[in-house]
Chain A
Amino acid sequence: MQILLAGNPGAGKSVLFARLTGSHVISGNYPGTAIGFSSGNMQVGRHKADVIDTPGVYSLESSGKAGEVARQMLRAGDIIINVVNATNLERDLYLTLELLEERIPIVVALNVWDDARHIGINIDLNALERMLSVPVIPTVATTGEGIKDLVESIPRALMRDNPASSREERWARIGDIIAQSQQVTHRHHTLGETLADATVKPLSGTLIALLVAMTVFLFVRYGGEALFRFVANPIFKTLWLPVVSWVSTLTGSSGFWHDILIGRLVNGQVDFVESWGLLTTALYVPFALVLPYIITFYFALGLLEDTGYLPRLAVMIDTIMHRFGMHGYAIIPTILGFGCNVPAMLATRVLESRKERFIAMTLIAIAVPCASLQALILGIVGQHGIQYVAIIYATLLLAWVIIGILLNLLVKGFTPELLIEIPPYRLFPWKLTLEKLWLRVRGFIIEAVPIMIIAIPVINILNMAGVFQAVANFTAPVVSGLLGLPKDAVAAIFVAFFRMDAAMALLAPLGLSAKQLVVSSTMLVMFFPCIATLAIMLREMGFWNLLKSLGIMILAGLTAGALLNLLPI
Chain B
Amino acid sequence: MKNGLITLSQMQDGQQAVVSSVEGGRNLAEKLTAMGIRPGKLITRFCSMYMRGPITVRIDNVQVSLGRGIADKILVVPGGVTDANTACR
Binding site for B on A (CB under 8 A): 8, 58-59, 61-63, 87-88, 90-91, 94, 119, 121, 167, 171, 189, 194, 197, 200-203, 205-206, 311, 314-316, 318-319, 327-328, 417-422, 424
Contacts and interface: CB of A to CB of B under 8 A. Distances in A.
B7 interface: no
Given A91-B34, A171-B38, 5 more contacts: A121-B61, A197-B47, A202-B88, A418-B65, A422-B63
Closest 8 CB pairs of A and B: A417-B67, A58-B34, A422-B63, A319-B53, A91-B36, A417-B69, A418-B67, A315-B65
Contacts of A316: 49
Nearest to A119: B61
Contacts of B54: 315, 318-319, 328, 417-418
Nearest to B32: A419
Nearest to A63: B27
Contacts of B30: 59, 61-63
Interface string B24-68: 000100111111101000000011111111101000111111111
A432 B31 CA distance: 30
B22 to A, nearest CB: 12
B2 interface: no
16 contacts: A58-B31, A59-B30, A88-B62, A91-B35, A203-B89, A315-B65, A316-B49, A318-B53, A318-B67, A319-B49, A419-B70, A420-B64, A421-B62, A421-B63, A422-B56, A422-B65
Contact of B64 (A194, A203, A205, A419): A419
A197 B56 CA distance: 10
Contacts of A328: 54
B70 A91 contact: no
Interface string B75-89: 000000000010011
Contacts of B88: 201-202
A200 B64 CA distance: 11
Contact of B49 (A62, A194, A315): A315
Contact of A311 (B65, B66, B70): B65
A84 B64 CA distance: 18
Most chain A Cβ neighbours within 10 Å, of B53, B68, B88, B89: B53
B31 A419 contact: yes
Contacts of B66: 417-420
Contact of B85 (A90, A94, A189, A421): A189
Contact of A201 (B27, B69, B89): B89
Most chain A Cβ neighbours within 10 Å, of B30, B35, B47, B49: B49
Interface residues of B, number: 33
Contacts of B52: 319
A194 B85 contact: yes
Most chain B Cβ neighbours within 10 Å, of A90, A167, A197: A197
Nearest to B72: A417
A88 B49 contact: no
Contacts of B31: 58, 62, 419
Most chain A Cβ neighbours within 10 Å, of B31, B34, B60, B68: B34
Nearest to B71: A417
A205 B33 CA distance: 28
A70 to B, nearest CB: 12
A91 B47 contact: no
A9 to B, nearest CB: 9
Contact of A319 (B46, B51, B85, B89): B51
Nearest to B88: A201
Nearest to A329: B65
Contact of B34 (A59, A121, A420): A59
Contacts of A94: 34
Nearest to B28: A419
Nearest to A120: B61
A202 B62 contact: no
Contacts of B65: 200, 311, 314-315, 318, 418-422
Contact of B56 (A59, A62, A189, A200): A200
Nearest to A328: B54
Contacts of B32: 419
Contact of B47 (A201, A417, A424): A201
A424 B64 CA distance: 11
Contacts of A201: 47, 88-89
A200 B47 contact: yes
Contact of A202 (B35, B49, B63, B67): B49
B34 A62 contact: yes
Nearest to A318: B54
Contacts of B85: 189, 194, 197
A121 B61 CA distance: 10
Given A318-B67, A419-B35, A88 B60 contact: yes
